[in-house]
Amino acid sequence: LVSATLEAEAEQIEGVVARSKGFFSVSQHLVSRDDLNWSLPGGNDAEGERVRLWGQPRTVHCHPEAQCLLGGSLPMFDVARAERVP
């Protein structure tokens, strides 16, 4: 890596981890299993735990025939850092 540019400050979300549409959900966002697993030790077993995540929200727009939430889009959250909340 020669250089990096910060496009936006990290946002923070907090909530209980639940399963949704093959992903995990925290707050109003979907989080990939890979993101939760690498950022939180034992992340794949975090269902039902309260967590705090830092990262960037993004919206994935789906094809009309795909089954997506909220009118053809998925509210994703790309995790940069995570911690369990007591």
Tell me, rounded to whole angstroms, the distance of Cα 67 from its chain centroid: 19
Q: pTM to 2 decimals?
A: 0.82
DSSP type of residue 70:
T
CB 53 within 8 Å of CB 31: yes
Per-residue pLDDT tens digits for 8-61:
788 999 999 999 878 999 999 999 999 999 999 888 889 999 999 999 998 888
23: left (phi over 0), alpha (psi -120 to 50) or beta: beta
pLDDT given for residue 6 in this prediction: 62
pLDDT given for residue 39 in this prediction: 93
* Phi, psi dihedrals of residue 44, rounded to the nearest 5°: -70, -15
Confidence of residue 4 (pLDDT cuts 50, 70, 90): low
CA distance 3 to 26: 31
Assess whether pLDDT exceeds 70 at residue 67. Answer: no
pLDDT given for residue 36 in this prediction: 93
Paired residues of 54 in beta bridges:
12, 81
Confidence of residue 81 (pLDDT cuts 50, 70, 90): very high
- Of 1 and 36, the one with more pLDDT: 36
7: left (phi over 0), alpha (psi -120 to 50) or beta: alpha
